[in-house]
């Protein structure tokens, strides 16, 4: 039974590592996409309205910051990413009277959910993130 338990633990650890690296690669892709938009579209701060700055603080700044931090601190970074997404949705609803359309924002921030999932799995297994 000991060997069977070791195999199960190894499979769990490998799955957690695979999800962790999926989150990391996805985060790099998401951040890269934001940078491509900023560079490609040419970000002009003078064209941003005062009420839009608050939304930008959370999306993309808060979300990207959280994904970067999650490489070292999964719980903190994942929480910042998911929290920034939720606050962005609330700000958008409060200013536009509706939630943003489509799944793009959620897909963009999905690594934050994966980082939190990995942190929870690592915590429950008694291992640390690498």
Residue 128 · residue 26 · CB < 8 Å: no
Question: pLDDT at position 4, please?
Answer: 76
- pLDDT at residue 52, rounded to an integer: 84
pLDDT at res. 127: 52
pLDDT at residue 7, rounded to an integer: 81
Q: How far apart, in whole angstroms, are the C-alpha atoms of residue 98 and residue 77?
A: 27
Give the Cα separation of 83 and 100 in Å (integer): 16
Could you state, in chain order, the average pLDDT of each consecutive group of 10 residues for the chain (130 residues)?
75 94 98 92 84 90 98 98 97 90 94 98 69
pLDDT of residue 93: 93
pLDDT of residue 130: 45
Which pLDDT score, from 0 to 100, does residue 15 have? 95
CA–CA gap between residue 105 and residue 103 (Å, rounded):
6
Where are the domains positioned within the chain?
A: 50-130
pLDDT value for 50: 79
Taking the complete model, does pTM exceed 0.85, yes or no?
yes
């Amino acid at each position: 039974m000991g060997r069977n338990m070791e195999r199960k633990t190894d499979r769990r650890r490998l799955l957690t590592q695979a999800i962790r690296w999926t989150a990391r690669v996805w985060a790099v892709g998401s951040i890269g996409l934001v940078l491509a938009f900023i560079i490609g579209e040419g970000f002009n701060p003078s064209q941003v309205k005062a009420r839009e700055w608050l939304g930008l603080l959370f999306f993309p700044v808060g979300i990207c910051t959280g994904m970067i931090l999650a490489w070292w601190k999964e719980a903190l970074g994942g929480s910042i990413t998911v929290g920034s997404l939720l606050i962005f949705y609330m700000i958008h609803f409060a200013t536009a009277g509706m939630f943003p359309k489509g799944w793009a924002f959620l897909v963009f921030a999905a690594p934050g959910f994966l980082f939190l999932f990995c942190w929870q799995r690592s915590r429950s297994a008694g291992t640390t993130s690498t």
